[in-house]
Amino acid sequence: MRKEYAAGNWIQLPVDLPKDWDGTNGDWDPSSKEGLTAVGGDKGLFHCAVYPLAAGPHFEMRAKFTVSTLVPKRVVFPQVHLGFNAWSNYGATTATASIGSAGFWGYLSADTAVERNGEDALKAGSAPPENVEIYLRRTAEGLTYVLNGKPVLEMSKRVAGSPDWEHGHIALGIRGLVKGMKMTVTSVEMHRLP
């Protein structure tokens, strides 16, 4: 898979079992047939799955999430982290979707885990979607983030940080799941750009 990715081919990361990923946090259903399924607990812990593949500085990524169950007045946040390195920067670039009764929106953090850029840039009505698709593209010119086919942000200027593009891994995160809530990662595709 790494050779195919390095050659510039689209690759599909495995989403069948949590054990296919290098490390996980939170509760994941090992018997799910739909994909990598995070199961909410009593405290709404951060669910995270890390895959040992470095995106490199220029890439395209598509990740699809299915919301199985939402709880009224709760907001959940599916996230994609690129350049993930828990010891230095906890994700050089993070694309986040927010789903709740107040609406559906997205924001992008670029090259740092501290400063958010473009928060609430996309509001897509009050009905929460059953499926969320995150598309992220990073080139020398900047970043593009699209959520369910609608542009959230195009950023030509990036903030300072400590990105680890050639060594930091890919990570999927889900924040805010509580008991009775489930979210499934059904697809993750990557394409390394020159």
Residue 113's pLDDT band (cuts 50, 70, 90): very low
What band does 117 get if pLDDT is binned at 50, 70 and 90?
Answer: very low
- Look at residue 72 in the predicted model and tell me its pLDDT: 75
- Mean pLDDT for 44-63 is 87
Domains and CATH numbers, the chain: 2-192 (2.60.120.560)
Is the model's pLDDT at 9 over the cut of 90? yes
How many angstroms separate the CA atoms of 15 and 126, rounded? 29
| pTM confidence score | 0.84
Q: What pLDDT is attached to residue 69? A: 75
Cβ burial of 125 (10 Å; 0-12, 13-18, 19+) is exposed
Asked if the model's pLDDT at residue 96 lies above 90, the reply is no
Burial 35-64 (b: 16+ CB within 10 A, else e): bbbbbbeeebbebbbbbebbbbbebbbbbb
The yes-or-no verdict on residue 104 having pLDDT over 90 is no
Higher pLDDT among residues 188 and 164, named by residue: 188
pLDDT-based confidence at residue 114 (cuts at 50, 70, 90): very low
Query: Phi first, then psi: what are they for 17, rounded to 5°?
Result: -135, 145
Nearest to 130 by CA among 148, 113, 153: 148
The CA distance from 183 to 168, in Å, is: 25
